[in-house]
Amino acid sequence: MGNTRAQNGNFRMDGKVAIITGAGSGIGEAIALRFAANGAAVRIVDNNSQRGEVTAQKICDAGGTASVHACDVTDQSQVRRTFGEICGKDRVAILVNNAGISHIGTVETTTEDDFDRVFRVNVKGVYNGTQACIPHMKSNGGGVILNMASIAGSAALADRFAYSMSKGAVVAMTYSVAKDYLAYNIRCNCISPARVHTPFVDDYLQKNYPGREKEMYEKLAKSQPVGRMGKPEEVAALALFLCSDEASFLTGVDYPLDGGFFNLRG
């Protein structure tokens, strides 16, 4: 984190409190670490409090400030209670709706239970967090909301029916919130990454391609025109900029972070 602080000194968040959902691992963890390295007090909201504690400990060990709040983003009552507790103590300036799950399947192979689960986490979870946080931001003169979408929300990906549906909804919610809350000084953007190398990718390869993990990883990595997967830290770097004061003129935008996938595919 010391190096991160030096690399990103222009995008300071001193004195700001940021809620980040799903910050116990992967992209959410990387965002939490990057924000804390730039001065933010991070509130980690995750349904796995043990993973959240690991992230918080990394932040605190590096001299940052973080706390962990166990919460299932699909449960509106839990979200309202958790966000109410945080906002009752802190003036929250930033919300990152990062918590999400993936799913593999076509419309025929996606069960109703699978579809509902993806919708609850990826769509309702964003709705719950945003709805709980916006009144607080309105009363405090504004804020920034960043949603984690995916290129699957705007580009055709095979066997990603439910996941693509959910991320398309996240993009649409981003535009709607940005439009509705301009007058309240609340900015709302989203990031649409392509494949990013997270623990989910490793678990997926181990489960579905035992003994062929390296081969299949290379195949997936090379599906991006730049020839590799993204890194969680690269998503975090864009998140830092979009939630910083330097991005105060930006709202209502879906930012692809895809190694050229959307526009440069052959």
Whether residues 170 and 214 share a domain: the answer is no
Whether residues 219 and 122 share a domain: the answer is no
Where residue 158 sits, what CATH number does that domain have? 3.40.50.720
Nearest Cα residue to 21 out of 115, 117, 142, 130: 130
The percentage of residues in the chain with a pLDDT greater than 90, rounded to a whole number, is: 82
* 32 within domain boundaries: yes
Whether residues 120 and 237 share a domain: the answer is yes
* 264 within domain boundaries: no
Count of domains forming the chain: 2
The pLDDT of residue 3 is above 50: no
Whether residues 114 and 87 share a domain: the answer is yes
* 111 within domain boundaries: yes
- In the 3-class helix/strand/coil scheme, how is the chain assigned residue by residue? CHHHHHHCCCCCCCCCEEEEECCCCHHHHHHHHHHHHCCCEEEEEECCHHHHHHHHHHHHHCCCEEEEEECCCCCHHHHHHHHHHHHHHCCEEEEEECCCCCCCECCCCCCHHHHHHHHHHHHHHHHHHHHHHHHHHHHCCCEEEEEECCHHHCCCCCCEHHHHHHHHHHHHHHHHHHHHCHHHCEEEEEEEECCECCHHHHHHHHHHCCCCHHHHHHHHHCCCCCCCCECHHHHHHHHHHHHCHHHCCCCCCEEEECCCHHHHCC
Whether residues 136 and 209 share a domain: the answer is no
Active site residue 184: no
Whether residues 183 and 136 share a domain: the answer is yes
Domain assignment of residue 203, given as a range:
196-229
> pLDDT tens for residues 93-140?
999 999 999 999 999 999 999 999 999 999 999 999 999 999 999 999
Whether residues 11 and 122 share a domain: the answer is yes
* 76 within domain boundaries: yes
Whether residues 96 and 147 share a domain: the answer is yes
pTM comes to 0.93
Structure confidence at residue 1 (pLDDT): 52
- Pick the catalytic residue from 127, 163, 209, 255: 163
Amino acid at 10: N
> pLDDT tens for residues 4-59?
444 445 899 999 999 999 999 999 999 999 999 999 999 999 999 999 999 999 99
